[in-house]
């Protein structure tokens, strides 16, 4: 049996203007400096699914507990990332499982 993280955090973003996707990625990469995740990635969507083009950027992180996720969200870098990305993004959908 494979050991899985306690909590996976996935967030999908769409850009208001596709030209801003690199700036969105850059703003989200600030989150990598937060030490509470056990795994962290920011990736631009490859748009390989012809039926779905709404998502431009994905954040994927793993945490050992809900408390670790809460600490991640309380870090000042989290707020800095929000300030950088919010004006550039349209949709934001988060899922924790």
pLDDT of 57-90, one tens digit each?
Answer: 999 999 999 999 999 999 999 999 999 999 999 9
Helices 66-74/76-85 angle, 10° precision:
70
pLDDT tens, position by position, 8-62: 999 999 999 999 999 999 999 999 999 999 999 999 999 877 777 889 999 999 9
Say what the pLDDT of residue 48 is.
77
How many other CB atoms are found less than 10 A from the CB of residue 21? 18
Closest among 57, 65, 74 to 12, alpha carbons compared? 57
Say what the pLDDT of residue 78 is.
98
Determine the Cα–Cα distance for residues 76 and 63; give it in Å rounded to an integer: 18
- Kindly indicate the confidence band of residue 5, based on its pLDDT and cuts at 50, 70 and 90: low
Burial class (CB within 10 angstroms; exposed 0-12, middle 13-18, buried 19+) of 88: middle
Determine the Cα–Cα distance for residues 40 and 83; give it in Å rounded to an integer: 20
């Amino acid at each position: 049996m494979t050991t899985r993280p306690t909590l996976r955090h996935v967030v999908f973003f769409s850009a208001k203007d596709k030209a801003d996707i690199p700036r969105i990625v850059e703003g989200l990469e600030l989150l990598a400096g937060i030490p509470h995740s056990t795994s962290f990635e920011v990736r631009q969507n490859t748009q390989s699914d012809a039926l779905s083009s709404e998502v431009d950027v994905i954040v994927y992180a793993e945490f050992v507990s809900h408390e670790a996720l809460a600490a991640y969200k309380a870090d000042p870098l989290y707020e800095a990332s929000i300030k950088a990305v919010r004006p550039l993004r349209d949709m934001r959908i988060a899922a924790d499982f």
